Chains A and B, each alone.
Chain A
Amino acid sequence: MARSVTPRRKALNTAAAWSVGLLIFFPILWTILTSFKTEAQAIADPPLFLGFDWTLENYATVMERSNYGRFLWNSIVIAGGSTLLGILIAVPAAWSMAFVPSKRTKDILLWMLSTKMLPAVGVLYPIYLLSIQFGVLDSKIALVVILMLINLPIIVWMLYTYFKEIPGEILEAARMDGASLKEEVLYVLTPMAIPGIASTILLNVILAWNEAFWTLNLTAAKAAPLTAFIASYSSPEGLFYAKLSAASTMAIAPILILGWFSQKQLVSGLTFGAVK
């Protein structure tokens, strides 16, 4: 794979790629840098890149003033809860489709995918109304269920793709050696499925964490997660760049780190296996 090139060529490639990479990353870098400045330094002319007094003041202010902890907790519950619930429902489904396929398996998979294409705005009012009627508007439980449902097709698909790669012969071999069904599932299948399940969880936590249609439209004071917390900075607090940056950095840092770990699964997960 690795083609041999002249060191000169390699140096040029490196320079070009790093420049583009840093340019693309710059808005994030700038946000992180600004979060450590004072408000005056944040709007200094000319802009300050590194020569400023680093301060943690903004983080302290944001946490204190805006109840950041509650938004964070809401985000964790909503992203984590919807993912786990989704996994619980999707594992048996994907399992049976991968190991006991029938003629209709393909149709069911495609149909599940098609529910993902439903534009959210098309069903905004019904969901809004149902949330009111069930008394769950602005509650975490409503968002856990809704985000679980919108991500369920992706979860089933990803798990199906992973399970499909587990060779069926291994199961037969285990059975020949006298393994019971319980032993088969516990000692043979589960260890082989765990990496696939883990990356599915990872990708779905990211998707749920960043979801910004339902979280913005169905929450107010109580259940609002970080997406809504940041949206509340849209004016006029947003003009306090240092605080906006601190709040933003706190909102994206956990997912940025998770995301970097999951970049390999991202491709097959988000293209439903169409690109591997």
Chain B
Amino acid sequence: MATQHSRSAARFMMAPAVVLLLGWMLVPLTMTLYFSFKKYLPLRGGDLGWVGFDNYVRFVTSSAFWPSVMTTLIIVGGVLLITVVFGVLLAILLNQPMWGQGIVRILVIAPFFVMPTVSALVWKNMFMDPNYGLLAYLWEFFGAQPVEWLSQASLTSIIMIVSWQWLPFATLILLTAIQSLDSEQLEAAEMDSAPAFKRFIYIVLPHLSRAVTVVILIQTIFLLSIFAEIFVTTGGAFGTRTLTYLIFQRVLESQNVGLGSAGGVYAIILANIVAIFLMRIVGKNLDA
């Protein structure tokens, strides 16, 4: 079917997408690499010459670096833990026979479609505000002292907000995976009177392992670069400065482009490590 003629036509049809993405990848990346080896302060003298690996060393040795790595790990890890555990439970629950399944699904998925700035602000002001927030009323109702969420429990708060946004994604994907589970296998196990817990451990969980892996990898890539949720809530204060946010501050707020670019290179390397695993899984799927 594929003649020489159709091959060259195919190449021609693919060219715009390939060229654009190549440019999108190479041009900014080259620039970031270039700046990362320079002392470059646009507002304080501009290009002050080559500095070798200085920026790379300074970025890692600055007092803000390790805390930001820890913050990133805690947020990503916390959100992953919550969304995967509750996602599995929720997917199992939604897969049970019930009335109004379609509507429940719609309710559960909804947070995913809310833009990050809206969810962050609604949570910050209407739920987590220590004076007028709904959670403050709830705490007072039970006779407890309201929590100043975003200053006293800042990381917990951010994890809550981001988990709320991503739980639908995990649930939806895990639900899709569960639905492809062979129900006869489960019924056979049920007839052999295997208890529900064992059926879950030995049949459901292994079946879900692939979907869980995909959820973890895709979410990690998105979670490593969460921005708006921190931008509109704490602005990086109270120990919520992630690696992404630190780089943003170096580049745009303090306009230390060289230093920020070195940080950017670290972020790119980090994201690529995660990406390699994801690509393997996706690539395997292409062959199948």
Evaluate contact between A102 and B251: CB separation under 8 angstroms: no
Evaluate contact between B118 and A45: CB separation under 8 angstroms: no
Task: Please give the distance in Å from A139's CB to the nearest CB on chain B.
Answer: 18
Evaluate contact between A119 and B115: CB separation under 8 angstroms: no
Task: Please give the distance in Å from A14's CB to the nearest CB on chain B.
Answer: 4
Task: Please give the distance in Å from B219's CB to the nearest CB on chain A.
Answer: 10
A45 to B107, CA, bound (A): 27
Evaluate contact between A227 and B117: CB separation under 8 angstroms: yes
Task: Please give the distance in Å from A36's CB to the nearest CB on chain B.
Answer: 14
A135 to B111, CA, bound (A): 36
Identify which of A22-30, A53-61, A184-192, A193-201 touches chain B.
A22-30
Evaluate contact between A125 and B6: CB separation under 8 angstroms: no
Q: Tell me the A192-217 residues at the B interface (CB within 8 Å).
A: 206, 209-210, 212-213, 216-217
A123 to B278, CA, bound (A): 22
Evaluate contact between A256 and B286: CB separation under 8 angstroms: no
Residue in contact with A255 in the complex, picked from B16, B28, B115, B122, CB distance below 8 Å: B115
A259 to chain B: closest residue by CB: B113
Q: Check: A96 CB closer than 8 A to any chain B CB.
A: yes
Chain B residues, CB < 8 A from A24:
107-108, 110-111, 164, 167-168
Evaluate contact between A92 and B14: CB separation under 8 angstroms: yes
Residue in contact with A256 in the complex, picked from B2, B93, B113, B173, CB distance below 8 Å: B113
Query: Contact size class for B?
Result: 35 or more
Chain A residues, CB < 8 A from B155:
none
Q: Tell me the B136-189 residues at the A interface (CB within 8 Å).
A: 137, 141, 164, 167-169, 172-173, 176-177, 179-180, 183, 187
Q: Check: B204 CB closer than 8 A to any chain A CB.
A: no
A167 to B18, CA, bound (A): 25
A245 to B119, CA, bound (A): 11
Beta-carbon contacts of B252-280 to A below 8 Å, as 1s and 0s? Answer: 10000100110011011011101100110
Chain B residues, CB < 8 A from A43:
132
Beta-carbon contacts of A95-116 to B below 8 Å, as 1s and 0s? Answer: 1110111100010111011110
Task: Please give the distance in Å from A126's CB to the nearest CB on chain B.
Answer: 4
Supposing A123-B264, A227-B115, A273-B282 touch, asked if A28 and B173 sit within 8 A by C-beta, the answer is: no
B138 to chain A: closest residue by CB: A47
Evaluate contact between B121 and A25: CB separation under 8 angstroms: no
Q: Check: B51 CB closer than 8 A to any chain A CB.
A: no
Task: Please give the distance in Å from B190's CB to the nearest CB on chain A.
Answer: 9
Beta-carbon contacts of A79-107 to B below 8 Å, as 1s and 0s? Answer: 00000000001101101110111100010
B106 to chain A: closest residue by CB: A260
Query: Contact size class for A?
Result: 35 or more
A88 to chain B: closest residue by CB: B16
Q: Tell me the B198-222 residues at the A interface (CB within 8 Å).
A: 210-211, 214, 218, 221
Chain A residues, CB < 8 A from B98:
10, 13-14, 17
Identify which of B29-37, B53-61, B73-81 touches chain A.
B29-37
Evaluate contact between A244 and B121: CB separation under 8 angstroms: yes
Supposing A30-B134, A100-B2, A168-B1 touch, asked if A121 and B264 sit within 8 A by C-beta, the answer is: yes
Beta-carbon contacts of B10-21 to A below 8 Å, as 1s and 0s? Answer: 110110111011
Q: Tell me the A4-46 residues at the B interface (CB within 8 Å).
A: 4-5, 9-10, 13-14, 16-18, 20-22, 24-25, 27-28, 30-31, 34, 43, 45-46
A102 to B121, CA, bound (A): 48
Residue in contact with B231 in the complex, picked from A4, A30, A216, CB distance below 8 Å: A216
A256 to B225, CA, bound (A): 23
A160 to chain B: closest residue by CB: B286
Evaluate contact between B20 and A152: CB separation under 8 angstroms: yes
29 contacts between A and B (CB under 8 A): A1-B183, A17-B104, A20-B104, A24-B164, A28-B114, A47-B134, A47-B137, A96-B10, A100-B2, A102-B2, A113-B282, A115-B24, A118-B271, A119-B225, A119-B267, A121-B248, A124-B251, A124-B264, A125-B264, A126-B28, A126-B31, A226-B115, A244-B122, A244-B125, A252-B113, A260-B109, A267-B176, A274-B281, A274-B282
> What 5 A-B pairs are tightest by C-beta distance, nearest first?
A259-B113, A96-B10, A123-B28, A122-B264, A92-B13
Apart from A122-B32, A125-B251, A156-B17: 18 A-B pairs, beta carbons within 8 A: A10-B99, A20-B108, A21-B108, A99-B10, A110-B286, A123-B264, A124-B251, A125-B260, A153-B21, A210-B114, A213-B228, A216-B228, A216-B231, A227-B116, A256-B114, A260-B110, A263-B172, A271-B218
